[in-house]
Structure 1
């Protein structure tokens, strides 16, 4: 009986050793396989990344470009908005500049008018032009002074450039001026250098004036200056009228010194007694 138990114990011990060995081998194999799986998995990931990278780039390239294009469009839109703002600011600045220049020119013209001085006439009043016809051939203008300033019929009207016309109608606070460009305007004049007497008249449909000489023994040349002669007791002598501009078919045409499109301030004058 003891002998039998001893054999059984010995056999059991051998069996246990065998299983332990098997378990050890299996554990070793599991560790090895796990490490191998990690290596293989890493390799697979690397290879997959290498393969997938150009594919992903190819697939995402249009999307990236679209995003970039949208960003560029937004940037261009912002630039356009800023550009419009700058244009508006420049427009406002130009308006202020134009207004400033206009005020400066008005002030300069006003000062020049106040400084007009000649021994042959005296200034009755300085006036502002308040009404002009809408084209350059307008032959009548309206002033902001009348009987309230003792203005008289046929008083001469001029500015810093020269003769403009004469008063033909007077109201209480306004007066009307017939311009020298009107066909009904006839003014005794002379050449400044040679004292050749003539009559100058308007044409109504042209800014140029026509000269008709009283004596034709001496004739002026292009470029000679025409001034009032003082005859007929309408205008004082030596007021600048214009310059001989051209000669066609023995007709002399004079270009006035006054720019009738830019009339602002004028002087109403009378001959000194």
Structure 2
């Protein structure tokens, strides 16, 4: 890491600390307090997909689905150029700006379709400094946000140990969970078995304006397969956009 990067990291750390002051880790909406999430009608999902071999050009994707039916209400795919470098622990500074722009465009053009909660393909509180992409995007958009990761971030004393693997094998049915507890003793998220057909859990953590329990129950209620439908749809549609507009060459 050069001097320029070190200066950038210091600036990002300060910015992250400022944003973290605004983070809300509890339920703020009436629908969150209802056992059936009555009053929740629109759930959003965001994702970025990259062209193979290109770390700068990506397709930023936003989808909004109806709840609880998971019917598509809105989608937007946009090619973006990521200008910030990738530095571990600061992914949000690279990925949040284009995703935020998609949300701002929706708010301008079709405000009635704004999601009431946003699922983010990445971590929230379950992060090196307890402020991952889902927290960053949540605070900047001021939307309730849930971070859902497909792979375990080995952070704050949480690791793929034998104990972790035995906890996974103890998840017998969809809806079963176990806590992701940091070395400090703080619970930063939950591993969730999201479907009976998949034995691999997903890792759910608070992004903003939602409690962990609500985040886990809501995530489970949005899963038809292993990954919650808003994120699955965003991922599928961004990949499809890249396949259509940037087909792989025959030499690949």
Using structure 1 for the length normalisation, give the TM-score.
0.25
More helix per residue: 1
Structure with greater strand percent: 1
Rg larger for = 1
- Compare relative contact order (CA 8 Å, sep 6+) and give the higher one, 1 or 2: 2
Q: Normalised by the size of structure 2, how large is the TM-score?
A: 0.27
